[in-house]
Amino acid sequence: MGSVRRGVILAAFAALPAPALADICAQVRPNWTGTEATALTEAVALFGTPPSLLLIVATALVVRFRSQWGGLAVVVAWAMWTSAVALNGNAQLAQAATEGCVGSPALFLIGVALICAGTVLYTLPKSTRL
């Protein structure tokens, strides 16, 4: 019975993610410091990507000029970008999330949803505004 128990304990320890196995993190996040990524750090990282920065500037221009068609285009572009982020079935990202160098994109997705809702509400015509 002791050898079975020892095998189960060793298998359990082998299944735990460890920073020593961070080869995937060196590929996915080269500047990773070893601290576990949270939803906030992942949101900052995703908002700092070139597509997000471009969409933030485009959203600011659309809101500034209150363009309905521009608002539609920006919201569709945000939807495409967030679906690319959220539906990425990459095995490397799943393994990196297990290792702790990639966090949950939930906060990023909530932020983008709020940006899109604000853009739609702000660019409504004056006759239909609340």
- Residue-wise pLDDT tens digits, 92-125: 888 888 888 889 999 999 999 999 999 999 999 8
The domain in which residue 109 lies consists of 2-123
pLDDT confidence bin for 88, thresholds 50/70/90: confident
CA dihedral 113, 118, 120, 123 (to 10 degrees): -160
Whether the pLDDT of residue 77 is over 90: the answer is yes
**What local confidence, expressed as pLDDT, does residue 38 receive?**
93
Structural domains counted in the chain: 1
State the pTM of this model. Answer: 0.77
Please state, in angstroms and as integers, the Cα–Cα distance from residue 24 to each residue in 29, 58, 69, 102, following that order: 8, 34, 42, 10
8 A C-beta contact, residue 47 and residue 103? no
Residue 50 lies in a domain: yes
- Residue-wise pLDDT tens digits, 15-63: 555 554 558 888 888 888 888 899 999 999 999 999 999 999 999 999 9
Spatial separation of the C-alpha atoms in residues 30 and 27, rounded to whole Å: 6
CB atoms within 10 A of CB 77: 16
> How many residues are recorded in the chain?
130
Residue 128 lies in a domain: no
**What local confidence, expressed as pLDDT, does residue 26 receive?**
86
Residue 56 lies in a domain: yes
Residue 37 lies in a domain: yes
Residue 61 lies in a domain: yes
